[in-house]
C-alpha cells in the first residue's frame, strides 16, 4: 500500500462535493503534469490511502482522508474540445492523460500548512518544500502515520 497527497481546488471539487456524490467517489480528472500522471498511471493501486488536500483557496490544507477506488484509466476531459483540459494530441487509441477514482472515507478538520510546518517530523513532506507545485505527491508511511495519529484524530 502507498500513501498520497492529492490537491483539489474546493471551488472546483471540494471534499463536501465528493461527499455528496454517489459512493462519495470522484474521478480525479484534469491532471496535466507528467510526473503526477505517472504517479497515477504507474504507482497508484486500489486501496492506497490519500490525504484530500484543498489548494488554491484562502485556507489550504488537508481536509480529509480518502482512498484510491479505481486504478488509472483515460481522463475523459482530454477528448472534449470544450474542456480547458482538452489535449488535441491525445486520442482514444493513444491517450496521454489518465485519472483514478478517489473515494472520501472521512472529512477531518482542516490541517493547514502552518500546522504541518510546526512539526519537525514532517520537515521532508513534499508539500512543504519550496517550489513544489505538484498536484499529487507521495507520502512517506511514517509521515502518514504521524499526521493521522497526531493531527487528524
Q: Average of pLDDT values for 54-80?
A: 97
Per-residue pLDDT of 91-150, as tens digits, reads 999 999 999 999 999 999 999 999 999 999 999 999 999 888 899 999 999 999 999 999
Which helix (H) or strand (E) covers residue 11, if one does? Answer: helix 10-13
**Thinking of the domain 3-70+100-143, which architecture would CATH place it in?**
Roll (3.10)
pLDDT number for residue 131: 85
pLDDT number for residue 15: 98
pLDDT number for residue 132: 84
pLDDT at 153 over 80: no
Buried b (16+ CB within 10 A) or exposed e, 48-75: bbbbbbbbeeeebbbbbbbbbbeebebb
The model's confidence at residue 77, banded by pLDDT at 50, 70 and 90, is very high
Per-residue pLDDT of 1-58, as tens digits, reads 999 999 999 999 999 999 999 999 999 999 999 999 999 999 999 999 999 999 999 9
Amino acid at each position: 500500500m502507498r500513501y498520497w497527497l492529492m490537491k483539489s481546488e474546493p471551488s472546483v471539487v471540494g471534499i463536501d462535493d465528493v461527499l455528496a456524490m454517489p459512493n462519495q467517489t470522484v474521478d480525479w480528472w484534469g491532471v496535466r503534469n507528467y510526473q503526477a500522471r505517472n504517479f497515477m498511471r504507474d504507482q497508484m493501486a486500489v486501496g492506497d490511502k490519500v490525504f484530500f488536500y484543498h489548494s488554491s483557496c484562502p485556507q489550504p490544507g488537508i481536509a480529509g482522508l480518502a482512498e484510491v477506488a479505481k486504478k488509472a484509466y483515460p481522463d475523459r476531459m482530454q477528448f472534449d474540445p470544450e474542456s480547458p483540459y482538452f489535449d488535441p494530441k491525445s486520442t482514444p487509441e493513444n491517450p496521454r492523460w489518465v485519472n483514478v477514482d478517489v473515494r472520501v472515507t472521512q472529512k477531518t478538520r482542516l490541517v493547514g500548512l502552518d500546522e504541518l510546518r510546526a512539526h519537525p517530523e514532517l520537515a521532508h513532506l513534499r508539500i512543504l518544500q519550496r517550489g513544489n507545485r505538484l498536484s499529487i505527491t507521495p507520502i512517506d508511511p511514517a509521515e502518514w502515520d504521524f499526521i493521522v495519529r497526531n493531527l487528524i484524530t
